[in-house]
Amino acid sequence: MPELPEVETILRGLVPVMEQQVIVHVDMNRTDLRWPLPTNLPAQLKGQKICQLNRRSKYLLIQLACRKSLLIHLGMSGRILIQSETRNSPSTQRRPEKHDHVAFYMGSGTKIIYNDPRRFGYIDIFPTSTINQHRLLTNLGPEPIGKPVGGHFNTQYLVRICKNRVASIKSILLNQKMIAGLGNIYVCEALFRAGIHPSRQAGHISAQRIRKLVPIIQQVLHDAIDAGGSSLHDYRQANGELGYFQHRFDVYNRENEPCRNRGCTATIERIRQSGRSSFFCPRCQR
DNA sequence: ACCACTACCTGAAGGC
DNA sequence: TGCCTTCAGGTAGTGG
């Protein structure tokens, strides 16, 4: 479940321990994730220096000096943990866990562990020159925050993609071809802040209200990144710390709890939309 | 083109 | 205690 803010938080944790470092060894315990991992991944990575880490949508991209790039997606339950070199006794170290699928050993002694119980995640390696043709990246829409990538995310864009759509605004915002990086939590939160009901047909919302949504989406994402992401179930930052944004949810996971808007006495409701839960205030969101 | 739905997989939580 | 059902942060692929 890591959405954009969680992946951004992990990226920021990995930069200081991976950038400019050499991968001295890779352990791969299983290759049957969402798609089979490249079986020669450890051999391809061994001895390679990392130049730069980036994020595109919910994907981590790790550029190597050998002109190849590593792509990592965390699916629903993926985690990345950093085990720093320590002189402490082995008993204080984290024990290997059941779903540790890949471990990267850095020249500094730091170990980076990819753990994913549901195995909906994926790791790939490919020539950096072909990155714009990667099948998982080519159909992504614009980045909602940061430097424009994949097009400009602005009011004209959002108004254009909503025009004449019969699909709900919820499903438009969740669609990675439209906006890259939003997931169930942050779509629910953004629609609450915007006062828009998740079931409302995108094409029936006034352009004025759609325009308002753009800075709100950006603010929700920035707020979550500032809080270190959201820790639900087992998500942690790469340094093992929990994120804190879940304490600031207005609607997500708050069914039957009071609406947080001043003066509103309604309680948060949950509905099912295309197989996923949507949380909203029936009074504040129309 | 667009849209809703399924499948993939494991584990946690709740009801009986 | 255990068995069963439901639900979970994502998304490619399908079929209407």
d(CA A175, CA A172): 5
A22 touches strand B (CB under 7 A): no
User: Which nucleotides in chain B lie closer than 7 A to a protein CB?
Assistant: 2-12
Structure confidence by residue, pLDDT tens digits, A90-116: 656 788 899 999 999 999 999 999 999
pTM of the model: 0.96
Q: A4-133: which CATH topology?
A: N-terminal domain of MutM-like DNA repair proteins (3.20.190)
A275 touches strand B (CB under 7 A): yes
Determine contact, residues A219/A204, Cβ cutoff 8 Å: no
A183 touches strand C (CB under 7 A): yes
CATH 1.10.8.50 residue ranges for chain A = 155-280
Q: Any bridge partners for residue A63, and if so which?
A: A52, A69
CATH 3.20.190.10 residue ranges for chain A = 4-133
Query: Catalytic amino acids of A?
Result: 2-3, 58, 276
Q: A155-280: which CATH topology?
A: Helicase, Ruva Protein; domain 3 (1.10.8)
d(CA A117, CA A235): 12
Give the pLDDT score at A16: 95
User: Which nucleotides in chain C lie closer than 7 A to a protein CB?
Assistant: 7-12
In the three-class reduction of DSSP (H, G, I as helix; E, B as strand; rest coil), residue A180 is classed as coil
A68 touches strand C (CB under 7 A): no
Q: What is the pLDDT along chain A (286 residues), one digit of tens a residue?
A: 599 999 999 999 999 999 999 999 999 999 999 999 999 999 999 999 999 999 999 999 999 999 999 999 999 999 999 998 776 656 567 888 999 999 999 999 999 999 999 999 999 999 999 999 999 999 999 999 999 999 999 999 999 999 999 999 999 999 999 999 999 999 999 999 999 999 999 999 999 999 999 999 999 999 999 998 887 765 667 787 788 898 899 999 999 999 999 999 999 999 999 889 999 999 999 9
Determine contact, residues A280/A192, Cβ cutoff 8 Å: yes
Q: Quick one: which residue's CA is nearest to B10's C1'? A: A118
